[in-house]
Structure 1
Amino acid sequence: MGSAGLTKAREKMMAAGVDEVAIETFAHYYRLLEHGETGMIPEASIEPVEMESLADVEVAEDVAAEAIRHTAVIKLNGGLGTSMGMDRAKSLLCVRRGLSFLDIIARQVLHLRGVYDAPLPLILMNSFRTSSDTMAALARYEDLPVAGLPLEFLQNKEPKLLLDKLTPVSWPKDPDLEWCPPGHGDLYTALRGTGLLDRLIEAGYRHVFVSNSDNLGAVPDARVAGWFAQSGAPFAIEAVRRTPSDRKGGHFARRRSDGRIVLRETAQTLEEDRAALADLTRHRFSSTNNLWFDPVAMKRVLDERDGVLGLPMIRNVKHVDPGDSRSPEVVQVETAMGAAVEVFEGSRLIEVGRDRFVPVKTTNDLLVLRSDVYDIGPDFVLDQTSEEVPFVELDPAHYKLVGEFDKRFPEGAPSMRKAAALRVAGDWTFGKGVEVIGEVSLAADAPRRVQPGAVLSADA
């Protein structure tokens, strides 16, 4: 059974009804943690990686159509958007015209089913906190469920561990805070533990496309499905060129010892390697978190490893109550689903355009998405209308939380098709029909209002 700390963690997980596969996976990482494993990937152990571009790939229409007909879609939907002040699924945020992320995702899938005469099941990996709201929101789409497959499955949870003792933390003020998700690498554990992986294989699905629900650019595109099918790869990830905004984020590389592709996250980077992490000329590609895998290959590797895929560990030290820096420090053991790229022999990467990577992590991102930088057509696919996506930096004191953000854009987002950047310092409320041109900075010490119809530009 291992150490006393692991025994207590096991007992806590069993009492909470956590799946046995998830418990064994947690035990695997606990032992690594106990033996001093940090999950770090030194710069000296890796080298830059090159890849082909989707723009240069030829995929016949019949190959693309056949591939999408055998594709299942999974959206990661466990996030509450707490960093933006939300207490329900972030995917329920309104994007425009009364449509939420979930509405657009559902309509993207339904449209593609009609185009390709494909079953294209949509399945959400929810958390216990997002499940009920999400399923209620999707109830309006009566044609969305596919016979024999669920609309959702739940991600697992694991106990937070006290930093000094590696025992499960107790927090009676809010017992929910004693638990954390195991990172989105839990996808594979949950697929196996729920039996969904077997059901997908039995139903004849050859490809699974996975992406985040807050990335509306991640459409289950038939051309990408066709590329994956003809590649013969067991696993693949869509990558994008890194930009200055990605300097602190993870990137792809190739491990010198065995030539395998690896995904190095920020939390896996040594302090002395931070300059290399930020070097966009050396490490040029980051992950979209849009990935494809062959379910049969996934099952084979999981079976060979007794259900533990063995993804690289990410050791995160936080406070048990993220909002209280005086609360005890805890260790959260996480894994990234993209790290499975190093598990499979023959994994592939492909460079895609930024149109397939439109994540919303902050209200800065949300403002761009709600603006006219993107059109949403009958296929519900985002169509970028400007050459470049403008940079937005809103004062977090007034705009970080969605409720406060909405108060300051009561008539909707300004027009930003001609904008290069919008920086707002202070408390500004925007009237209807405001247009931003070029690079604009606003600053104020007291609440101010941008008048309806105003044109904001660097020269104004």
Structure 2
Amino acid sequence: MTVFSSINEFEYKDTFEGIRKDVIVSQMIKALQKHFPSICDKNYELSLFLPIFQRYILENSSISHELDSGKIRLLNTSEFTEFEDIRDSDALDHALLSKLATLKLNGKADSVIGKESPLFEVKNGKCSLDIIVQQTQNLNTSFNCDVPLIFMTSLETEPQISNFLKESYTCSKVEWKTIVHSSFPAIDKDTLLPAVFQINVCEEDLWYPCGSGNLIDTLYFSGELDNLIVQGKEVLFVSDLDNLGAIVDLNILSYMITNEIDYLVEVVERTANDSNTGVLATYESKLRLVDYKCLSRESARKCKTVNTNNIWINLRKLKNLIESDSLNLPICSSETKMIIHNSPLMEILHLQTNLGDCIDFFSNSQIIKVPRNRFLPLATCEDLFLLNSNLYDLDTSGSLNLYPLRFELLPSIKLGDEFANYETFKIGIPDIPNILELDHLTVMGNVFFGYKIILRGTVVIICDEDDVIIIPDGSILENVIVRNKSQLEDIDKF
């Protein structure tokens, strides 16, 4: 069997922006066949990519493939299970933990906050990986169990994550391992051919992780799914590596097993900081994950919850769906622009699938609304600003606890492009201010914070492009708008 044998006979002969669809798919196959000797190590990835590319071309009539906002229906509260309704700490059976495994998703190295994001200090000298291992170690020690911890990495992030874990946690009370996420070739949008072949160079940035939906294939074809089932594991708890609130909850595990739920997704109340987070909704009467930006203005205003990507999956049910070829997940396309070796700007097309879209394929799936502390993302420097502040305390179990007087009401944080990556963020804000009484913060331009600063109420600091604003040590900013450095002369200090 060759890598191309999984391609089906063409069923559609209509055109796709002026070119017959079967011709487009045929050209892709020929391009891969022609250059296949140079990428023989990509056999497995291409066997997954080709059927998705074929579906993408044959099932659609537009290159944009954007969702129709008019067909998106937000879920109402009656379609959620409330966490408080299932909470029963007195009746929990700790033995159920023997049936659980956990997995942390980590794809392409974060290009927003920085490539080393899992290793950045988050709290008390600990990085994300430290905190996640600490959480699992505390679970296993407290209940004398052996919940394994799996990291799904990419070719880009595998070395740094594996090396860190080997150096720091070889003898810990946690059985951890890494499995590598598959990658797909980036597509030149103009030619609908692989960009890597257009320039005849195999560069890492021209192969990208093919979405969280690839977790299913990776688990199955790596043998890890069967391995977990043989160990007696019945449930897999999946969450993002950058969600430090995704801790194993025995209430949810017990509810899932007792009620024989096959697939369970956690959602939380939306805050002002969640503008780019996915939303679980129905599209053309099917449950799926949609981008917040795809919502109409009216739906965006009414949207009250966001997807956490905390997902609980029945492993045997998952295996049955895979082996019956019943998981044809919706294909999501995204576009980006890239300059390669001083070549003209190339528009790149990425095809991905999302694990969250599995919800419509399981016969007994549910959505549960959980407390906000189960969703503490660390995808941007704005997230880092919050978690590294005195709003949160990191306890010995690895839990990040919100300052009690906030009642889960987080301040809105908006930082300009000058603070978009970790290096510039630390230069501009070397010491996170006291924000216990902060409601909103906007910082734009060349702004530099000193030490031991207090922010209260609404604080807006916008610096002109040709100016610099330095906030002195010990400053107290309360309900102010600062547009130039002269305004700082009247600010009180300690």
Name the residue aligned to 2:104: 75
Contact 1:64 1:223 in 2 (8 A): no
Name the residue aligned to 2:250: 222
Instruction: Kindly report which structure 2 residues correspond to 1:334-345, keeping only aligned pairs within 5 A, or say none.
Output: 334-345=352-363
Amino acid at match of 1:409: I
| 1:296 counterpart SS class | helix
Name the residue aligned to 2:119: 92
- Could you list the runs of 5+ residues in structure 2 that have no partner in the other structure? 8-25, 481-490
| Structure 1 residue 248 displacement after superposition | 5.5
Instruction: Verify: 1:33 aligned to 2:56, yes or no.
Output: yes
Name the residue aligned to 1:183: 211
Name the residue aligned to 1:428: 447
Name the residue aligned to 1:198: 226
| Structure 1 residue 228 displacement after superposition | 2.0
Name the residue aligned to 2:195: 169
Residue deviations 1:351-401 (CA, integer Å, cap 9, x gap) = 0121111112221111111101111111110101123211111221x2112
Residue deviations 1:40-95 (CA, integer Å, cap 9, x gap) = 554555543221110222335553523333211100122312223x233x211110
Name whichever of 4-13 and 190-199 sits farther off. 4-13
CA distance in 1, matches of 2:56, 2:453: 53
CA distance in 2, matches of 1:153, 1:298: 18
- Could you list the runs of 5+ residues in structure 1 that have no partner in the other structure? none
Q: CA RMSD in A?
A: 2.6
Contact 1:237 1:292 in 2 (8 A): yes
| Structure 1 residue 202 displacement after superposition | 0.6
CA distance in 2, matches of 1:187, 1:80: 17
CA distance in 2, matches of 1:422, 1:325: 40
Name the residue aligned to 1:278: 300
Amino acid at match of 1:287: N
Change (3 A) 1:421 1:201: same
User: Which residue among 401, 407, 425 is the counterpart of 1:405?
Assistant: 425
Contact 2:292 2:300 in 1 (8 A): no
| 1:209 counterpart SS class | strand
Amino acid at match of 1:30: F
Name the residue aligned to 2:128: 101
Amino acid at match of 2:439: A
TM-score relative to the length of structure 2: 0.83
User: Which residue among 409, 414, 426 is the counterpart of 2:433?
Assistant: 414
Name the residue aligned to 2:159: 132
Aligned pairs, how many?
443
Change (3 A) 1:64 1:77: farther
CA distance in 1, matches of 2:424, 2:251: 40
| 2:296 counterpart SS class | helix
Change (3 A) 1:16 1:319: farther
TM-score relative to the length of structure 1: 0.88
CA distance in 1, matches of 2:304, 2:356: 17
| 1:151 counterpart SS class | strand
| 2:190 counterpart SS class | coil
CA distance in 2, matches of 1:252, 1:33: 22
CA distance in 1, matches of 2:93, 2:274: 31
| Structure 1 residue 9 displacement after superposition | 3.6
Contact 2:381 2:420 in 1 (8 A): yes
Residue deviations 1:281-307 (CA, integer Å, cap 9, x gap) = xx44321011010111111110111xx
Greater RCO, 1 or 2 (C-alpha within 8 Å, sep 6+): 1
Amino acid at match of 2:347: E
CA distance in 2, matches of 1:435, 1:339: 43
Name whichever of 322-331 and 442-451 sits farther off. 322-331
User: Which residue among 472, 477, 482 is the counterpart of 1:456?
Assistant: 477
